[in-house]
Amino acid sequence: MIGSMNHVGIAVPDIETAIAFYRDVLGAVDITEPRDLPPQGVTYAFVNLPSGQVELITPFGEDSPINKFLERNPKGGQHHVCFEVEDIHEASLLMAERGMRVLNEPRIGAHGTLVVFLHPGDAGGVLIELMESHKEAH
């Protein structure tokens, strides 16, 4: 059911420092400006690579789910992996049928399409994001 791997989410304590690392040390040449996504409590930037993206995320606001992650991993770390699906509502139902805990109703993610997260406890310890693919019209 899953299609392309879209991105890997990396939680970081400071997004400008992380951007500088990907740009100046790893040599990435295409990195977006940081943007706030208040409904998800994150500020994010994309490192665009030929094969996909790294999504740098840092907390936005005190209720951010990333705060807890950074308490456990002060230097940051790999936070989630994102796979594309054709239809997020269908995928969400199917995952629930297969015994996965789906952590949220489909909501708009950083890419402007609907996303859900799956509980890492049901997924080999990995927080999985499912993201509806951009439709052809885009």
Q: Which stretch binds Co ion (CB under 5 A): 24-32, 46-54, 74-82, 96-104?
A: 74-82
What mask of x and - would describe binding to Co ion in positions 34 to 63, judged by CB under 5 A? ---------------------x--------
Whichever of 129 and 132 has its CB closer to Co ion, that residue is: 129
Site for Co ion in 75-134 (CB under 5 A): 82, 129
How buried is residue 72: exposed, middle or buried, by Cβ count under 10 Å (0-12/13-18/19+)?
exposed
Q: Shortest approach of Co ion to residue 16 CB, angstroms? A: 19
Cα dihedral 115, 52, 94, 80, rounded to 10, equals -70
Which two tokens mark 89? 């509502």
Whichever of 82 and 102 has its CB closer to Co ion, that residue is: 82
3-state helix, strand, coil in the chain (%, to 5): 25, 35, 40
- Establish whether 129 is a catalytic residue: yes
Q: Tell whether residue 9 is a contact of Co ion (CB under 5 A).
A: yes
Residue with the two structure tokens 């594309």: 84
Q: Shortest approach of Co ion to residue 90 CB, angstroms? A: 20
Whichever of 9 and 97 has its CB closer to Co ion, that residue is: 9
Q: Is 35 left (phi over 0), alpha (psi -120 to 50) or beta?
A: beta
Residues that bind Co ion (CB under 5 A): 9, 55, 82, 129
Positions marked active-site:
129
